[in-house]
Every structure is written in C-alpha cells, then in structure tokens.
A and B are shown apart, each in its own frame.
Chain A
Amino acid sequence: MNLRSSALIASTLLAGCVFTDDANQTGGDFLQEHGAAVRSADSGVFDLPVVSVEAVPLEGVPSMHGTGPILLGSMGSDSTRLVVGFDLQDTTRRNAILLRGKDSLKYLRLLAYEATQGLTVRARFFHLGTARDINALPALFAGLDSTDLAKDGADAVLIPAKADSEYVLPALATGESTYLGMPGAVVERLASALKDKTGWFVAILDTRTSGSDAKARFAGVTLVDRDTASTSAVDTAATLSLGVYEDYSGWRSIGLRPKGASSRVVGLWPSGGSRLRIGFDPEYLRSQMRTTFGVNRDTVGGFDHTFNILQARAKAQFASVKAEGTDPHGFVIASTVIIDSGLDKQNAPKQPNEKNYELPVNISPKTIIECGLDTVPSIFFSWAPGGFLVEVKLDKVTSSLPTQYSLATGSYSTQTVTKFFLPLNARLEFRVAAFVRVRIWADRNWAYAKWWTIGRLPVSDAQYRDEDSTRREAMFWNGQLTTEQEVRTPLTQLLNHWRTVEWEIAPRTSADPSDRFIAVPEDTTTVFETVRLKARTLAGGSN
C-alpha cells in the first residue's frame, strides 16, 4: 500500500472516530455562572400571599330538580331542605276516579327509598292560587323563604296556609311509608283548590335536628286522602302525585347553611355546592423565593422567568370537615389564568309582565370565533318574585348549563337555552365555552354580566400517589382537618406575572347526587396557609 492510500484511509478512519461520547460532566459551576441552570431543585416553605377569597357556586354540578332520590336531613349545622310541589291543574297526576267528587287530601305521604333514620321536621304549606302566584314557584324551589319574598314585595302573591307544624318522622325500612297529617286549614284550602283545579300546592320541609347527621331519602312524595297501609308506590286511595315544572318532577332538595355562618366553605350539596376562589400576590411570593434561594431577578420582556416550579404543595387547615359516609373525599384544585375580562350591564325588569331585558355578553369577536360560537351569548331577564327568571341563549352549543339555579334546558336547532331562577343579588356563574366564564347578578335596578376569558383549562393537578390511588394527604374525611394539595402547574405562571392566576378548591363531585360534604376553613380569609415549593431557576437565565 502506498503512502497516499494509507493517508486516505487513516484520515477517513480518524474523521469518523468517536472515542467516549458520554455527556460531559465537567464544568457545572461554569455553566451555572453563564446562565445555564444546571442545579437540582431547591426547596422552601413560603407564606401564601392571599389577596382575595370568595365563594362561588360549584360549577357543573347537575342540580336539576326532580332527579335522583329525594333528600331531607341535616349534617352538622347545615341542612337539606325539601320542597315539593303539586300541580292542582294537572289532572294526569291525580287518581282521577277517587278524586272525583271527593276532593279531600289530608296526608303528605313519604315513601322511603332506603332504610332511613327518624327525623323531626318543620313543615310549611303554601297554595299558589293564580298564574301570578305561580311565579313564586321558582323562588320556593330555589330555597327562598316566604319572608324573603315578602321583602321583595311578593307577599301579595303568596297565600300561606297559616300553618307551621312540627312532625316526627319515624325510622323507616326500604319501601315503607310515613304519613304527615296536614292541619285542617291546609286540608280545607287544598280541597277548595282541588275542586277549582287552580294553582300549585307546595310543602316545605326542614329538619329540626340541627347538629345531627340524620338524613332520609325518599323514592316518592304524594298527597293522599287516608292511610291505605299500602306498601305499593301507587296508592289505591285518593292520590295526587308531584307536579311537573319545566319538564322536571316538582321537588327540590336544597343545601342550606345556618344564618350568619360563613359562606366561604368548600361544599357539596344535592342542589349544587360551593368552591373557594383564591387570588394571590405574586410579587410577594416572588420576593420571598428570591430571598430564600438567593437568586436575582431574571426578566425578559417584562416577564419574570426566575423560577420554574417543579412541585408545589399548599397546606390548608380546616376548622371542621363534615362528609357523607366514611370514605375519604378528594379535592380538586382548578387553576385559572385570566386573559381578559369585561362587565356589561342593563336595566333590570322591575315588575311582573315587563318585557324581557336582553343583556348581551360582549366578549370579543376573536373569542367568539375561538369558542366556536356564532354570536355573543345573550341573557334575558324577566321579573319574578324574589328574583328573576333568566334565560341564557347560546348558539352552536349543544350542552346545557347545569348550575344550582338551573330550571330547565332546551335546544332549538343550533341554539341551546338554559333557564335559571336567579335570586335577587345572588351570583350565578357558568361557562358559555371552555375558555369563557360568565357571572350574572341583578338587583331591582340593574342586571350585570361579568365575563372572563381564561387562558388555561381549569384542570386539576393530579393528586396521585400511584397509578390508582389518590395521595392520602390530599384527601378529607371526618376529623381529618389538614390537607396538602398539589398545585404546581399554575404557580409558575403566577410567578411569570403574566396574568391573574386563581386557584379554585372544590370537592370532587360524587356519583351519588345526594352525597353531602362541607369543609370550613380555619381561616376563611386565606384558606391555604403555606406553600412548600421545589423550584429551580430557568435554563439560560441570563442568556
């Protein structure tokens, strides 16, 4: 082989050679100094700089009245009210043969869905005699008291039965019935109304056993003439079944907190629930972290990219936790990044029969396109005792908007209409699209709609310990008052100071619509006490 060939082969071999191509491990300090963060995570515990806490309705909990077992009971100081309504005009709901010429119904019959505990209840009876009176029906279904309606000048449309009676419901086996004998005045009023076939008859049952955890679930509630001792759901005696209101059976179980108790709780009731929305001061947290980790600010284009948070666990201490059953309950932490917001308002209808007032939610055309909507969502307000009947119309949206105040939904070609009863000054929040949330409220002068466009889907951080189980520390059960929630995902963006970031802590919803849960934070002004972070500075910090 001549020298030329040897040179060629040697150079080719050398050019392709690779001696040791493991990643280099030398020069970490040098890289760190030149802005390539190569340190492992650092950790620290920080105060959470809370600037706002508010309770908002639990989103997406189906709470249409007339679905699931009928519930009545109490849990700690909270209770579940049962409102049942009978449509006296609806002849299909009555046992027509026996009621003909014999219009006296004396008992409220409660048929046990399962073995129930004994309860002491307070019962109130109302007759809504005219079409104008029936306007108060949504308010009663929403849990408003007649006194609240009276404050709103609605007492003229309500006709109390002038009876407020206390009853002891015995413990029942599954399928057993108990009968509440109604006072004479009520029976007389009902008989008269049945004869005329006018209006609705409403019974409101509240528990008297505050402080206990008793509850009863019923398969059905009917008005009957006498005790037939029947174990069948269909009485052979004179009977009137629950009415139908907005396509749903006329009953509602409503979660109530005692008067004067804080509304800042994490709750799950058959009629909906409550979540806590918490806003933070990012600058304070940022400065704490800089001090603890000993690093300087790193900003690019006005954004702060000093830290990337690998793990964040926020600790909350609760004063009381009441939960249905013995199984631990999980929480979810939803996080929201606010991109934009706006407030729209319109005159509110001030009296009955006033025309619908339309309040468009003026989100931008760009957002409308991004959401897949055709036009801006429209909200129509009409007057009702104690509040407003509200319709939300959405184009190109097929799902309804279930909230604790939903009455009914309907679809008309490409349009979905959801009906609500909105109590006076109550706030109702729902999402008209995945990235647009809307809050409405109204007083007697103005109706408001505030909207937010959201930059991140409010999906909870996984609280998994392993593939199939939730971290025990992130769960609640009776007596367990401390929880540590994994909330890392939005926290980095909070530090970016890009937008307002909110955490929303809510109970995991249960498959059983009668499950109840209430957790009262020890400090309702902060909810979370501290956050334990593992963080590191960003690669290329000074690049």
Chain B
Amino acid sequence: MRKVISFVVVACAAGFAQSPRNIMGWGDEVAPADAVSRGMGEAGAAIRSDKSWDPRLEARSAYNTLAAFEVQIAPQLVWVDDDATSNSLSGSRLPRLSLSVPMGRFGHLGIGYWQRFQRTFEWAPENDSSIALRAEGGAFEGVLGYSVVVPGVRNLALGVTYHRFLGTDRVFQEEKRQFPDEYYPVVIRDSVSNRYWGGQASVSAYWTKGDIDAGFWVDLPGEVELTTERGATSQVFPEPEPRTVDAPQSMGVSGAWRFAPKQTAVALLSRTEWDPDALSSTDGKNPRWDVGAGWQYAMGGDRFDDYFKRMTFRAGLSGSVGGPQSLLSESATLGAGMPLGSMGTLDLSLQIGQNEVDDGGPKLKDSFVRLYVAITGASLWGRSQRSRR
C-alpha cells in the first residue's frame, strides 16, 4: 500500500495542460470506467469481477468478494488542431479513486471520487504575449453506492448510488498592455467562476448467469445549484445568485459475454441528456450517445505460473456524439492487466482517439494518447487467515 500511495503522490505532481475544448459545457467530461473497463473501450461496466466498482452500475459490485482500493492516473499527450495551427500539450488527470467493500450477505458498499468534469487548460495567442487565458478546476462527484443480491434470485442484484456534485472551476484572462507614451502598463483581469453543489441518485440492476452478464442503470432526476461569479478590472457585477438546474441525466445498458473460456466480449450503450438551462449555449446536439465495445483475453494462470501467464489483455473501441454542444469522439484502446501481489492488479490502458467539435463554428480537433494507469489493491477483509486459505 505504501507503494500505491507513493505512486499517487508522484502522479498528482504532474502538470495539467488540456485542450481549449474544456471551455465547453461544464468542462471535459471524464468517463468513470474502472481499471478493467478502460482497456476495453470503456465498455466493460458489466463484466463480472471480484473487485471492480463502477459508480454507474453499482449493482454489479454486489457479487464482489474482495475489498478493493483503486487509483487511476492518466498521463496524456494531446495534439490540438484548428484550421490554421496545431500544438501539442501534455499533462495528466486523476479520473477516480474508489473503495469497494463487500459485506457478504449484507450487500456491498462503494465509495468513490470521480473527477467528472475538467475545465483545466491554458491558452496564449501566437503573436501576442500580453494575453493569457487559463482555466482550472472542475465539478467532481463524491459517490456512495450500495447494492445487494436480490434474496432468492441469486442471479439478480440491485443497486442504488448517490452522486454528490461539488467543486469549482474558473476561467481567468489577464491582458497586460504597455502603451508607448505611458510608464505604467495597464493590466486587465477577467474571471468567470462556477460553483457546483447538488445531488442525484441513480439505480441499477445487474443480471449474471453462466457466460452472460448484463447491467442497466438510470439516473433519477437531480438538481445542481450552479453559482456563476464574474469579475473583471473596472467592472461592476451584480451579486452572484445561484440557479438550480437539472443534473445531467444518463441511462445505459452494458453487457458481457464469455464466448470462450479465456475470452470475453463487452458492449455499452448510454445516453446522457442535459438541461438546456445548465449550459451557456444550447447549440449542438442533445442528448449525447456513448457507445463502446471491447474484448478481453485472460491468460488465466494461477499464482504459481509465470507472470506473463497471469496477465490479461484487452482491446476496445468507443465513440460518442452529441452534447453538451456538438462533440464527435472516437477512440481505440489497448490494455493489459498485471497482477500485483496475491490479489492486487496493475492495469495499463492505452487510449488513442480524437475529439472534434462540430457545431458549425471554428473547427477544433484534439487527438490524444492517454495512458490510464490503475492500481488496485485488494484484500479479503473480515475473513480470518484460515478462511482465506
């Protein structure tokens, strides 16, 4: 565990330089996929696991047997293109932290942090060093979930999850101008800040039998209090007044099929709808559709086999289209799961893809290479050494 903490500290020290696309909506939305699912086109929400937890499909975790702490960190390299120029950026994100606690016949408890939206980016004009635009922060979620296998129906589990939206994002602009006939430069600062506070519940169901697993989740209506505060040099603004908007509401289905002893195919389809009042611009397509499909090959070795034979390999494709505003995203993933100790895993998922803004305005495309590094520490909590053996 000490190694895990050291890793997280090092990872968090990484820089954050993201695409200007993050100015749209509530920022760049990060999928909550777990370590295993990342390598399968982020479509493996329904794959049966003994320690994974997905904040959307809490019901799946009712079958978990291991207590697990999962950390994800994602260094990335992004190429940003518009009609005229291109640039490369690097940075990293910390998509999620989670703790999954199975409680035997009492069900399962999941708790997690999900950096759902990220506003972070920096921008400066090519030929004018006097202006700088910077954004930081974003709305994240604290998630608490509970699930239980339905008594008497051992193939069916139900789950409920509470999502607490919170966080702040800010966009800063600073312009410094030096006029030739003045000694003192003029510095103008503008800022736009959003504070998020709200809650939403979701319910999920998971069915598993034989080689087939399937899950379904739906977000119940929720509200988010959104407070936008603006400031600028020499400007006077009214006191910010919070406005209540509907939380983005999604529903989705996911399935997994073990079509061979070591191989599994997964798929996911989800739909997310936005309250037009929650967005500054209602341009674009609403709702957004996300789709993904993936494959996993588990070597299936036990602790006495070579390390390679204990690894798992994954691949997948994913895409989305729609709001907020008009985004078209495609990506492909390759992943590998490596055992850490007797029960932990290190999952690496390489994601290559692109996002395009297609709203009729100036073009912006960012192509990215992202490496999700997920470390999952797992243990059999509440069971004696003898029973573990």
Give A496-543 interface residues, CB cut-off 8 Å to B: 496, 498, 534, 536, 538-540, 542-543
Residues of A within 8 A of B75 (CB): 14-17
Q: Known contacts A40-B128, A496-B235; decide if A15 and B92 are in contact (CB<8 Å).
A: yes
Alpha-carbon distance between A303 and B235 when the two chains are bound, in angstroms: 10
Q: Known contacts A30-B363, A492-B235, A543-B171; decide if A310 and B23 are in contact (CB<8 Å).
A: no
Bitwise interface map of B from 188 to 206 toward A, beta carbon under 8 Å scored 1, else 0: 1011100000000000000
Contact between A301 and B237, CB atoms less than 8 A apart:
yes
User: Which of A20-28, A151-159, A241-249, A284-292 makes up part of the contact surface?
Assistant: A20-28
Residues of B within 8 A of A261 (CB): none
CB contact between B89 and one of A21, A33, A300, A496 (< 8 Å): that residue: A21
Contact between B234 and A492, CB atoms less than 8 A apart:
yes
Q: Known contacts A21-B89, A25-B123, A31-B123; decide if A38 and B173 are in contact (CB<8 Å).
A: yes
Is A35 on the interface with B (CB-CB < 8 A)? Answer: yes
User: Which of A103-111, A117-125, A461-469 makes up part of the contact surface?
Assistant: A461-469
Residues of A within 8 A of B92 (CB): 15
Give B159-202 interface residues, CB cut-off 8 Å to A: 171-173, 175, 177, 179, 181-184, 186, 188, 190-192
CB distance from A494 to the nearest CB of B (A): 10
Contact between A38 and B361, CB atoms less than 8 A apart:
no
CB distance from A315 to the nearest CB of B (A): 15
Contact between B73 and A26, CB atoms less than 8 A apart:
no
Is A308 on the interface with B (CB-CB < 8 A)? Answer: yes
Contact between B130 and A493, CB atoms less than 8 A apart:
no
Which size bracket describes the interface of B in this complex? 35 or more
Is B121 on the interface with A (CB-CB < 8 A)? Answer: yes
Contact between A29 and B362, CB atoms less than 8 A apart:
yes
Give B88-139 interface residues, CB cut-off 8 Å to A: 88-92, 121-126, 128, 130-134
Bitwise interface map of B from 5 to 43 toward A, beta carbon under 8 Å scored 1, else 0: 011001101110101110110000000000000000000
Q: Known contacts A311-B186, A540-B190; decide if A11 and B80 are in contact (CB<8 Å).
A: no
Q: Known contacts A34-B281, A310-B188; decide if A15 and B236 are in contact (CB<8 Å).
A: no
Q: Known contacts A18-B15, A24-B17, A40-B131; decide if A543 and B280 are in contact (CB<8 Å).
A: yes
Residues of A within 8 A of B86 (CB): 26
Residues of B within 8 A of A543 (CB): 171, 192, 228, 230, 280
Contact between A25 and B85, CB atoms less than 8 A apart:
yes
CB distance from B301 to the nearest CB of A (A): 13
CB contact between B237 and one of A16, A300, A467 (< 8 Å): that residue: A300
Contact between A26 and B188, CB atoms less than 8 A apart:
no
Is B232 on the interface with A (CB-CB < 8 A)? Answer: yes
Alpha-carbon distance between A3 and B309 when the two chains are bound, in angstroms: 12
Give A5-58 interface residues, CB cut-off 8 Å to B: 7-8, 11-12, 14-21, 23-38, 40-41
Alpha-carbon distance between A303 and B375 when the two chains are bound, in angstroms: 50
Contact between A25 and B90, CB atoms less than 8 A apart:
no
Is A264 on the interface with B (CB-CB < 8 A)? Answer: no
Contact between B91 and A21, CB atoms less than 8 A apart:
yes
Contact between A301 and B175, CB atoms less than 8 A apart:
no
Q: Known contacts A18-B15, A303-B237, A498-B236; decide if A24 and B124 are in contact (CB<8 Å).
A: yes
CB distance from B88 to the nearest CB of A (A): 6
CB contact between A539 and one of B21, B90, B190, B338 (< 8 Å): that residue: B190
Residues of A within 8 A of B14 (CB): 15-18
Residues of A within 8 A of B338 (CB): 3-4, 7
Residues of B within 8 A of A486 (CB): 182
Is A305 on the interface with B (CB-CB < 8 A)? Answer: yes
Give the residue name and chain of the B residue nearest to A473 (CB): B181
Give the residue name and chain of the B residue nearest to A301 (CB): B238
Is B46 on the interface with A (CB-CB < 8 A)? Answer: no
Alpha-carbon distance between A301 and B237 when the two chains are bound, in angstroms: 8
Contact between A24 and B80, CB atoms less than 8 A apart:
yes
Alpha-carbon distance between A301 and B234 when the two chains are bound, in angstroms: 17
Is B83 on the interface with A (CB-CB < 8 A)? Answer: yes
Alpha-carbon distance between A2 and B15 when the two chains are bound, in angstroms: 30
Contact between B230 and A540, CB atoms less than 8 A apart:
yes
Bitwise interface map of A from 297 to 322 toward B, beta carbon under 8 Å scored 1, else 0: 00011110100111100000000000
Contact between B3 and A8, CB atoms less than 8 A apart:
yes
Contact between B82 and A496, CB atoms less than 8 A apart:
no
Contact between A24 and B123, CB atoms less than 8 A apart:
yes
Contact between B280 and A542, CB atoms less than 8 A apart:
yes
Contact between A15 and B183, CB atoms less than 8 A apart:
no
Alpha-carbon distance between A18 and B12 when the two chains are bound, in angstroms: 12
A interface, CB within 8 angstroms of B: 2-4, 7-8, 11-12, 14-21, 23-38, 40-41, 300-303, 305, 308-311, 462, 464-467, 471, 473, 486, 488-490, 492-493, 496, 498, 534, 536, 538-540, 542-543
Q: List 29 A-B contacts (CB under 8 A).
A: A3-B307, A8-B3, A8-B346, A12-B6, A15-B7, A17-B75, A18-B15, A23-B17, A24-B89, A25-B126, A26-B87, A29-B83, A29-B84, A30-B361, A37-B190, A38-B125, A38-B133, A38-B173, A41-B177, A300-B238, A308-B190, A308-B232, A310-B188, A462-B182, A488-B234, A492-B233, A542-B281, A543-B228, A543-B230
Nearest 5 CB-CB pairings of A with B? A539-B190, A540-B192, A539-B173, A301-B238, A29-B362
